[in-house]
């Protein structure tokens, strides 16, 4: 009897910690993208870096990249050229499969290459786009900035 109560209580606690987006619930993809952007800036502040400015051009550029990635079995980056700012470098984080922006963001933070993109001090602007796929939201976050000049 006691074990059944512990299992039932655990199930209730897990249900209370469920992601913000359930499979049956429609996803606000623009809101999802904005939350990823906000989480990026929170991390940058925590790391003592400046915040990024939202860039509509990069968000528009990210959408077809997310659309393409949503159909691929394995996520892969296509070549890019900086085109939305005067910057000379561009980067991208791609992700799919997570119903909760905070959970997805944690995956980026725990991946060395994605984390480096998030905290690159050369980035000045970013734009994010998320689209639906059979495996959950697929998102592309693009960054542009100026590469440091070697001394």
Q: What is the pLDDT of residues 9-37, one digit of tens each?
A: 333 333 333 344 445 567 888 999 999 99
Separation of CA 21 from chain center: 15
**CA dihedral defined by 105, 107, 113, 114, rounded to 10 degrees?**
-20
Task: Specify whether the CB–CB gap between 59 and 128 falls below 8 A.
Answer: yes
pLDDT of res. 74: 65
Question: What distances in angstroms separate CA 150 from CA 73, 89, 147, one per listed residue?
Answer: 39, 14, 9
Q: What is the pTM of this model?
A: 0.78
Is residue 94's pLDDT more than 50? Answer: yes
Angstrom distance (rounded) from CA 33 to CA 14: 26
Instruction: Grade residue 143 by pLDDT with cuts at 50, 70 and 90.
Output: very high
Least confident span in 32-41, 74-83, 105-114? 74-83
Instruction: Grade residue 3 by pLDDT with cuts at 50, 70 and 90.
Output: very low
Q: Which residue has the higher pLDDT, 97 or 89?
A: 89
What is the H or E stretch that residue 4 is in?
Answer: helix 2-16
Query: Average pLDDT, whole number, for the chain?
Result: 80
Provide mean pLDDT across the span 54-60: 96
Instruction: Grade residue 77 by pLDDT with cuts at 50, 70 and 90.
Output: low
């Amino acid at each position: 009897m006691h074990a059944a109560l512990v299992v039932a209580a655990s199930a209730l606690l897990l249900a209370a910690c469920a992601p913000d987006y359930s499979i049956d619930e429609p996803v606000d993809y623009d809101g999802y993208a904005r939350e990823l952007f906000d989480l990026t800036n929170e991390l940058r502040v925590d790391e003592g870096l400046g915040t990024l400015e939202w860039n509509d051009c990069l968000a528009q550029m990210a959408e077809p990249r997310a659309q393409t990635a949503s159909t691929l079995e394995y996520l892969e980056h296509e070549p890019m050229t900086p085109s939305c700012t005067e910057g000379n470098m561009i980067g991208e984080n791609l992700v799919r499969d997570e119903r909760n922006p905070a959970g997805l963001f944690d995956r980026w933070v725990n991946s060395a290459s994605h984390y480096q993109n998030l905290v690159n001090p050369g980035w000045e602007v970013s734009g994010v786009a998320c689209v639906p796929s059979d495996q959950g939201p697929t998102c592309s976050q693009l960054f542009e900035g100026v590469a440091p000049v070697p001394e």
